[in-house]
């Protein structure tokens, strides 16, 4: 299907069905809205005259990007793309079904369904606010709209990372006192391994006992899981080799690198995987955890040869539905590292940017690797601010806010921008340990959790919060791409953050690769 868009095309919207749609624009656009595939993937308005630079390191590229389009050289957007023309006119092309992609080539905006099936498309012309509102309305008719308000969450990750243990969590539960959190959530570090979802030796009382302690404070008990990844050389992968997703050469599909080392993927369509998934989630819910943060979900939708011959995003959505059914309708599910559109109507909330961090930007991991998806507060703010249109469909989580001065490298201004982003999304969370907070910092945290400020969006990046103007525009531009040995940049960046010592085999593996190069 081909549609001509001219300068005189009035504000309108069209819903059409086709496997492919091409919009002929009157001229190449000033900017193109590139929507990332999953939570961490760059989402921003890009200059169509500048080629997209691929992430340099395979380890992070496999984790952060939509693999088939990582080297496209021009913008490829997941599900929705938009062209900014003159005088604030926006032309949006949005898929209403799974597997939709939108690419820009000169003055053509091309939409296609990756699986080759016919699906519905929205074509909308108007102001930026109008066209994205039209898109969310059409998606809401299919998948539903967001309900109630997001919970206020204390999460262990951004203070303790995977070094959590039972005595420390007990101390946190006591230390939070009457701070108005709705959820206390344990993150990575409680489990035996990725795949063996039972308490490790650091939690001798077991997870049910931890959940009971949290619930006695009149808060929901939350738990982190990453159900579709497993360490490449781990025991679980060896025991369940037939569960692993494989490529065309019958090798296990590589999912990048995480805190547990280099990762493989479980086949999200495999009947035995789905049965194991159902039993695992039911067991966790039975312990008393009714808030689940599910991470690295992109793994369920990466390309590969599946046990069932179904499109990759269909397999992912069906597996997420298994999780929802097992967890029960009253369990809050937060999707992280998650392809966006396939979880609408299934999950309650979704991370909408890369992880923030107690620093602004890691130059080796973000700039030298051309990776704006890497953890860091600037990267987190940039992508999250471009996904505010999702707010009507699902709770949008920009990640935690920091109130501590201890172990926090951000300036006051950088911290303020993060706080203001969180205010705009209304999803409030922190990881600050209570005993790290000074009295004034604890008081500021309490006020933050209790406030409901009046917010007005003035333009794309300018907001008014209780009469105070906030402008995110200065921190949106991407760094210029650089040429730097990828493995060396990865090692230096990991070393700066201390991750090379925490991730099993990381230092030895990277040193060997650097030496061999």
pLDDT in tens, 1-59: 888 887 777 777 888 899 999 999 999 999 999 999 999 999 999 999 887 888 888 88
370 has pLDDT over 70: yes
Looking up tokens 């926006």 gives 90
Q: Taking the alpha carbons of 122, 128, 134, 140 in that order, is the dihedral positive or negative?
A: positive
Catalogue the E-assigned strands of 217-267.
Answer: 220-225, 229-231, 254-258, 261-265
Question: Distance of alpha carbon 512 from its chain centroid, rounded?
Answer: 31
pLDDT value for 503: 46
177 has pLDDT over 80: yes
Q: 178 burial class (0-12, 13-18, 19+ CB within 10 angstroms)? A: exposed
Classify residue 341 by its DSSP letter.
Answer: G
Q: Which residues pair with 77 in a beta bridge?
A: 102
Rounded to an integer, the average pLDDT of 495-512 is 51
Rounded Cα distance, 268 and 282, in Å: 17
Rounded Cα distance, 194 and 172, in Å: 25
Average pLDDT, the chain: 92
Of the candidates 27, 24, 71, which has an alpha carbon nearest to the alpha carbon of residue 48?
27
Question: Distance of alpha carbon 4 from its chain centroid, rounded?
Answer: 35
Reduced to 3 states, what is the DSSP secondary structure of residue 389? helix
**pLDDT tens digit sequence for 246-283:** 999 999 999 998 888 889 999 999 999 999 999 999 99
375 has pLDDT over 60: yes
**pLDDT tens digit sequence for 242-252:** 999 999 999 99
428 has pLDDT over 70: yes
Of the candidates 40, 38, 57, 37, which has an alpha carbon nearest to the alpha carbon of residue 103?
37
Backbone angles phi, psi at 413, to 5 degrees: -65, -40
CA distances from 488 to 262, 343, 347 (A): 17, 36, 38
Looking up tokens 């390309």 gives 303
Local confidence band at 514 (pLDDT 50, 70, 90 cut-offs): very low
Q: Are 393 and 455 in contact (CB under 8 A)?
A: no
Rounded Cα distance, 351 and 204, in Å: 31
322 has pLDDT over 90: yes
Rounded to an integer, the average pLDDT of 184-202 is 97
Rounded to an integer, the average pLDDT of 450-475 is 97
pLDDT value for 496: 66
Say what the alpha-carbon torsion angle 338, 344, 345, 349 is, to the nearest 10 degrees.
Answer: 60
Output b/e per residue, 19-32; b: 16+ Cβ within 10 A.
Answer: eebbbebeeebebb
Local confidence band at 497 (pLDDT 50, 70, 90 cut-offs): low
502 has pLDDT over 70: no
């Amino acid at each position: 299907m081909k549609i001509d868009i001219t300068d005189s095309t009035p504000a309108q919207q069209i819903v059409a069905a086709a496997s492919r749609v091409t919009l002929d624009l009157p001229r190449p656009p000033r900017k193109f809205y590139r929507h990332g595939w999953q939570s961490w993937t760059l989402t921003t308005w890009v200059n169509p005259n500048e080629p997209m630079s691929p992430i340099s390191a395979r380890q992070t590229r496999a984790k952060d990007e939509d693999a088939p389009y990582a080297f496209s050289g021009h913008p490829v957007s997941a599900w929705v793309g938009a062209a900014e023309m003159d005088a604030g006119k926006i032309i949006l092309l949005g898929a209403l079904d799974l597997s939709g992609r939108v690419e820009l080539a000169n003055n053509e905006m091309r939409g296609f369904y990756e699986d080759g099936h016919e699906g519905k498309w929205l074509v909308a012309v108007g102001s930026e606010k109008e066209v994205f509102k039209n898109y969310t309305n059409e998606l809401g008719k299919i998948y539903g709209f967001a309900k109630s308000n997001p919970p206020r969450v204390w999460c262990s990750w951004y203070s303790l990372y995977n070094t959590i243990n039972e005595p420390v969590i007990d101390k946190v539960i006591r230390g939070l006192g009457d701070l108005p959190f709705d959820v206390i959530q344990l993150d990575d570090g409680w489990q035996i391994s990725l795949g063996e979802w039972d308490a490790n030796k650091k939690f001798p009382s077991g997870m049910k006992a931890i959940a009971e302690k949290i619930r006695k404070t009149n808060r929901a008990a939350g738990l982190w899981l990453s159900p579709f990844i497993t360490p490449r050389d781990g025991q679980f992968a060896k025991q369940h080799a037939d569960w692993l997703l494989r490529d065309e050469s019958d090798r296990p599909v590589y999912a990048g690198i995480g805190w547990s080392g280099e990762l493989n993927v479980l086949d999200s369509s495999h009947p035995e995987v789905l049965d194991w998934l159902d039993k695992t989630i039911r067991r966790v819910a039975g312990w008393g955890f009714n808030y689940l943060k599910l991470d690295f979900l992109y793994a369920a939708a990466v390309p590969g040869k599946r046990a069932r011959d179904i499109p990759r995003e269909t397999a992912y959505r069906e597996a997420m539905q298994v999780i929802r059914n097992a967890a029960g309708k009253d369990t809050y599910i937060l999707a992280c590292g998650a392809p966006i559109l396939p979880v609408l109507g299934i999950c309650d909330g979704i991370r909408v940017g890369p992880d923030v961090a107690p620093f602004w930007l890691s130059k080796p991991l973000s700039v030298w690797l051309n990776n704006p998806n890497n953890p860091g507060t600037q990267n987190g703010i940039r992508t999250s601010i471009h996904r505010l249109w999702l707010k009507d469909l699902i709770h949008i989580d920009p990640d935690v806010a920091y109130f501590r001065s201890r172990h926090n490298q951000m300036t006051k201004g950088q911290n303020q921008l993060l706080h203001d982003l969180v205010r705009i999304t209304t999803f409030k969370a922190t990881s600050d340990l209570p005993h790290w907070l000074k009295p004034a910092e604890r008081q500021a945290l309490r006020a933050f959790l209790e406030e409901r400020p009046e917010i007005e969006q003035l333009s794309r990046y300018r907001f008014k919060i209780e009469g105070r103007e906030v402008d995110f525009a200065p921190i949106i531009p991407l760094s210029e791409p650089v040429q730097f040995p990828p493995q060396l940049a990865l090692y230096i960046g990991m070393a700066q953050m201390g991750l090379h010592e925490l991730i099993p085999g990381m230092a030895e593996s990277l040193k060997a690769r650097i030496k061999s190069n």
